[in-house]
Every structure is written in C-alpha cells, then in structure tokens.
Amino acid sequence: MTRPLICRIDASALAHNLARIQSLAPNAPIWAVAKARAYGHGLSQALQGFSAAAGIAVLEIEEAAHLRSAGWEKPILLLEGLFRPQDLSAAAELRLDLAVHQAEQAQAFFSAAAPAVAYLQSGARVWLKLNTGMNRLGFPTRGGLEPLRELVDSLRQTLGVGRVGFMMHFAQAESPLASEEPFARFEWALERLGHGAGEPLSLANSAAVIHLAFARMGWLRPGIALYGASPFRFDRGGHAPVFSNLGLRPAQTLQTELIAIQHLQAGDGVGYGMRFRASGPMRIGVAAVGYADGYPRTAPDGTPVLVDGKRCAVAGQVSMDLLTIDLTAVPQARVGSRVELWGAGLAVDEVASHCGTVGYELLTAITPRVARHALAIPGAMSGTGKG
C-alpha cells in the first residue's frame, strides 16, 4: 500500500495570490520570487501560477535554466547574483538580470571581455543592492559613496542607459516607523549615485507590499505571500490581522491519514520520552508523517492538526515517521481518517507559531520522500511566460 502522505500544490491558488498582490499596486511590475523550489511548491507549479508576473526571481542559475527550458521567456532575476565570475557566460546565455551586492561581482563585467559583450547583447540588467541597515548583503549607504559612484558610472558606461537598477530589502517591513529610516537611506543614496529616470528600482518584499504603501514603487518582489502564507508572525490563536484581510489562498496542503488508534488509560504515556501522559481514558491517533518528511520535530503538545476537518492536537514527541494526535475532539475518527497538517483548513503560520518558527521554514522543508500531487490550472501549460 502506498504511504498516504501527500503534499498537494494548487497552481490556481498561486495565480489568485499573484492577482491579489498585484491589486495593491496595479501598475507595478512584479518579480514573483520562486527561490528554494518556489518555496517548496515546485518550479513547474510556479510557472503556471505566475504566468502573469512580469518576471520571476530565483537564487541559482540552475533554477533559471529550468525556467528557460520550460518556456519562460520573460525576465529572470538572480537575487544574489553570480557566485563565481565564470558564470557570467551562462547568465548571458540565459538572459538573466543579476543582483550585484559587492564590488567583486561587478568586476566580472570588466575583466572578461567575451562574457561582458555577450551580456551586453542579452538585454538583461544589473541591480545594485544597497545595504540600508539589514546588514546582510549590499553596498553600504553610510559615509562617502564616491567609490560606489565610480563603480556605478563604470557599469552604466559598460552596459548602457537603463541597464543599471537599484534594490534594497526591508528588515522590519511590519513596522512603518522602523522602515522610514532605511527608506530614507535608500533615497539619499540614489540621489548621490545620480539615479536616472530610466533606471529601475525594487524595494518591496511581501511584507512591504502589504504594509508599506510608500515602498510600492518600481518592481515589487513578493515571495511568501504569493504562496498564501504570511510574512508576519501569527499568534498561537492563528491571528495576524494585517495579513488576514487580503483573501490569499494557501497553495500547499500537507495531508495524511491515521494508520492506527491506541486506547489509553490514566497515566499511560505516548511516544519517545513519554512526554505526554493521559489524564484519563482517551484515544490517540497515529498519523503517517514525521520529521523525516519535514514535519517539525519541535512541535509541542497542543500543536493543532485537523482530523476529518476537526481541530485536534499533537500529543507526544514527533518521531521520524509518525505523529501522535489526541482524538478527544473527534470520537468518530478511525483508521483511514484524513489528517491535515496545514493547508486550506489550517494555516501553516499557526502551526509554525506553535513550533517557534515561521511558515517559510515548514513550506520549504518538505522532503523528497513525500509524494506530490500538483493541481494544475485548467487549460494552462507549464511553460507559460511569453510576451
């Protein structure tokens, strides 16, 4: 018998979410961020769901090559640029927009004549990433900017008018007040770098698109929201008011079945370490899912799950292949009853909040042994993205 654990991906939900995000800034082009195998949803599903996007942003050249081979002809952005200078030839062949976050990356355009010429002919752009306070990647925006101005001018001269853009990343987009200073630093730097009218900008990730109206300029870069999950932390009651009113649909559902039921008496323990003990007679359901599938081992007792559509709770330590569930709320549950770990009926963000993490981690952590079932958009082709 095939193990009943399935990860369902709904491409129509991706398309719906893209349209909802686009409605917040109807005239802004969107980079649909699809790194980490489209946040665990799969690049093939992303191609269908994001066919209306102006471009797709990924992390690795291999992801970009997959998109091109599947028929995506619109722009593709490498969010961290080139990891090795010799990859410029492949980037040129694939017509990739490239983030440049340090001077060493920019040297690839000056030190290798043939790749630079090919890149010039590809029509793609270079996006200078400015560090406005997050202190991960990017050129600093404090102190003198003369060395950076010289680099920018050299790139403008090498690549041509309108081929150099500028980007930043908000660290605290959930807070308009905390985001004002990074935004001001970005504007200050643009002024000193001689930002021209034809040079594109990109500021807003999911949280910024949703929460910072002043950041909805240039190319938007939504990620997690496109998959129906929240860039804002949920509380344990499953609430994130800023996010909840957007009408987004979860695109990933992780579901399985009960494969056994145990009858406990008062004092009986469950699972490794006997972390959970019954206070009286009760039924424990055993579901076919565990941490080797990507379900978090850190899930404490009380983490919500759905059994036959009813809210139940984890009871006992998550093991490699199995999850034990308190069935008190579902007396009719039986072997074969459906168990939803997260999805349309239970927000992944709520589960993540119980586990001390974020929905991003759970969505991207599903392991290869989990069967996948893609729900395609009727009439859509996986290689859409022309025009």
Domain of 272: which CATH number? 2.40.37.10
Instruction: Tell me how many domains the chain contains.
Output: 2
Residues 154 and 212 in one domain: yes
Residues 180 and 80 in one domain: yes
Is 209 part of any domain? Answer: yes
User: Are residues 153 and 267 both part of a single domain?
Assistant: no
Q: How far apart are CA 79 and CA 352, in angstroms?
A: 26
Residue 40 in any domain: the answer is yes
Per-residue model confidence (pLDDT) at position 113: 65
How far is 132 from 128, CA to CA, in rounded Å? Answer: 12
Question: Are 175 and 266 contained in the same domain?
Answer: no
Is 35 a residue of the active site?
yes
| 272 tagged catalytic | yes
Nearest of 357, 147, 94, 322 to residue 233 by alpha carbon? 357
Helical (H) or strand (E) element with 6: strand 6-10
| pLDDT band at residue 208 using 50, 70 and 90 as cut-offs | very high
Q: Which residues contact 139 (CB under 8 A, 6 or more apart)?
A: 101, 102, 103, 128, 129, 130, 131, 148
Same domain, 284 and 155: no
Q: Are residues 213 and 346 in the same domain?
A: no
**What's residue 37's pLDDT?**
95
For 329, the token pair is: 């709320």
- Asked if 49 and 133 sit in the same domain, the reply is yes
Q: Could you tell me what percent of the chain has a pLDDT over 90?
A: 78
- Indicate whether 50 and 108 sit together in one domain: yes
Lowest-pLDDT choice from 114-123, 331-340, 348-357: 114-123
Catalytic residue among 35, 119, 227, 291: 35
Confidence of residue 383 (pLDDT cuts 50, 70, 90): very low
Range of the domain at 286: 252-357
**Is 236 inside a domain boundary?**
no
% of the chain surpassing 70 pLDDT:
93
Q: Residues of 318-345 as b/e, b for ≥16 C-beta within 10 angstroms? A: bbebbbbbbbeebeebeeebebbbbbbe
Instruction: Give me the mean pLDDT over the 69-77 stretch.
Output: 97
What's the confidence (pLDDT) of residue 339?
Answer: 98
Residue 247 forms part of a structural domain? no
Rounded to the nearest integer, the mean pLDDT of the chain is 91
Q: What is the pLDDT of residue 110?
A: 78
Assess whether 176 and 44 both reside in one domain. yes
Is 94 a domain residue?
yes
Within a domain: residue 375? no
Asked if the structure places residue 154 within a domain, the reply is yes
Q: Looking at the structure, tell me whether residues 32 and 142 fall in a common domain.
A: yes
Q: Are residues 213 and 308 in the same domain?
A: no
What average pLDDT does this structure show over 338-366? 95
Inside any domain, residue 176: yes
Q: What is the pLDDT of residues 110-125, one digit of tens each?
A: 776 666 667 777 788 9
85: which residues sit within 8 A by CB, 6+ positions away? 105, 107, 108, 111, 112
User: Mapping DSSP to helix (H, G, I), strand (E, B) and coil, where does residue 182 land?
Assistant: helix
Same domain, 175 and 46: yes
pTM: 0.93
Query: What does the angle CA 345 – CA 346 – CA 348 come to, to the nearest 5 degrees?
Result: 135
Kindly report the CATH number assigned to the domain that includes residue 42.
Answer: 3.20.20.10
The vertex-11 CA angle with 7 and 17, nearest 5°, equals: 110
Q: What is the mean pLDDT of residues 263-268?
A: 97
pLDDT at 289 over 70: yes
Catalytic, out of 39, 272, 295, 310: 272
